[in-house]
Amino acid sequence: MGPLPPIRVADLLNKRFFGYLSWLRRRRALHRPEVLAALAKDLAVSNADHLVITGDLTNIALIEEFAQVEVWLQSLGSADRVTVIPGNHDAYVAVPWETTLAKWQAFMADEPNAGGQPRPPTGPDAFPFVRFRGPAAILGLSSAQPTPLFCAHGTLGEAQLHRLGQHLQKLGQEGWFRVVLLHHPPSLEGIARRKRLVDAEPFRKVIAEHGAELILHGHDHKFADVRIPAGRQSVPVLGVPSASAAHSGKKPQAHYQTYAIAREDGHWRIEVTARGLDPVSGRFAEARRYTI
């Protein structure tokens, strides 16, 4: 989340009004553009093969914010090196696809290996999309939806979950390292009802039936490391703090994680490295490392 563009009164005649008050009172001091600049500088020297962003790139889903984010995404790398899914802030109110999320469609597009010709997403029916990088198949979901005042929950829906199951089954049979991206954590407890993934249980059933190798989420702005049982194994579900948080409060300050994957003795090995903001230097540095 970066700074807000100029706002018209007409933009605030809905739920955005309360989001704007929250930004004035708290968020603009917490989510800082200089932190995002330090993050981009650290990413530039990280030698990562691919970057994934799990939503909440806008504050209150202003039309101008989507254009700002498009420019920022392009500054991080070309669309073949960056993948994005939307978060609840990107669906703060109902907005036309063509003037909002369509601006990011190059970063959310299906690829030929997923079956057929590439197709840019044109709305909710385009999810999940599938992208291929090295041994990884990246499946992008959307749980973003407009919600009532004071609510920030998300829903995947039966159709999207059905398509997810089909993709996971096929990609698993082909031997891909399947990375599932969604914004809302698929938790059954530990998250407020108004912020939950409404169909977390059906999502977990799809994972239990078809498997996956890694699930990454956003939304909760804190470290998360849980497992979803899937046959004889379990699927790691990981989350990290906000990438733009300038200081610690109820949630940790800015972090991101890298995932080095390798096939060893018929099993996937994942080395996770967390890099966090050093408030003294204003730079990102390694915070911890572990292996799954």
119-175 confidence digits (pLDDT tens): 555 676 789 999 999 999 999 999 999 999 999 999 999 999 999 999 999 999 999
Alpha carbon 59 to chain centroid distance? 15
Query: Residue 275: CB partners within 8 Å, gap ≥ 6?
Result: 42, 46, 255, 256, 257, 258, 284, 285, 286, 287
What's the confidence (pLDDT) of residue 18?
86
In a domain, residue 23? The reply is: yes
What's the confidence (pLDDT) of residue 208?
97
Tokens of 148: 């009532």
In a domain, residue 8? The reply is: no
Tell me the per-residue pLDDT of 268-284, one tens digit each, with 9 for 90 and over.
999 999 999 998 999 99
Report the alpha-carbon distance of residue 191 to residue 205 in Å, rounded: 19
Tell me the per-residue pLDDT of 57-84, one tens digit each, with 9 for 90 and over.
999 999 999 999 999 999 999 999 999 9
Tell me the per-residue pLDDT of 182-225, one tens digit each, with 9 for 90 and over.
999 999 888 889 999 999 999 999 999 999 999 999 999 999 99
What's the confidence (pLDDT) of residue 27?
87
What's the confidence (pLDDT) of residue 62?
95
Q: Between 114 and 136, where is the model more confident?
A: 136
In a domain, residue 64? The reply is: yes
In a domain, residue 261? The reply is: no
Least confident range of 4-18, 109-123, 242-256 = 109-123
Tokens of 231: 């046959």
> Do 269 and 284 touch, CB atoms closer than 8 A?
no
- Residue 114 pLDDT > 60, yes or no? no
- Mean pLDDT (the chain) is 91
- Percent of the chain at pLDDT exceeding 90: 75
- Residue 2 pLDDT > 90, yes or no? no
pTM for the predicted model, two decimal places: 0.93
What's the confidence (pLDDT) of residue 11?
79
In a domain, residue 59? The reply is: yes
Report the alpha-carbon distance of residue 286 to residue 77 in Å, rounded: 22
Q: Residue 83 is part of which domain span?
A: 13-251
Least confident range of 8-17, 79-88, 96-105, 136-145 = 8-17
Tokens of 280: 């003294």
What's the confidence (pLDDT) of residue 119?
54
Count: domains in the chain: 1
Write out the chain in H/E/C secondary structure: CCCCCCCCHHHHCCCHHHHHHHHHHHHHHHECHHHHHHHHHHHHCCCCCCEEECCCCCCCCCHHHHHHHHHHHHHHCCCCCEEECCCHHHHCCCCCHHHCHHHHHHHCCCCHHHCCCCCCCCCHHHCCEEEEECCEEEEECCCCCCCCCCCCCECCCHHHHHHHHHHHHHHHHCCCEEEEECCCCCCCCCCCHHHCECCHHHHHHHHHHHCCCEEEECCCCCCEEEEEEECCEEEEEEECCCCCECCCCCCCCCEEEEEEEEEECCEEEEEEEEEEEECCCCEEEEEEEEEC
- Residue 113 pLDDT > 80, yes or no? no
Report the alpha-carbon distance of residue 247 to residue 183 in Å, rounded: 22
pLDDT class for 266, splitting at 50, 70, 90? confident
Q: Side chain identity at 117, as an amino acid letter? A: Q
In a domain, residue 39? The reply is: yes
In a domain, residue 171? The reply is: yes
In a domain, residue 267? The reply is: no
CATH code for position 51: 3.60.21.10
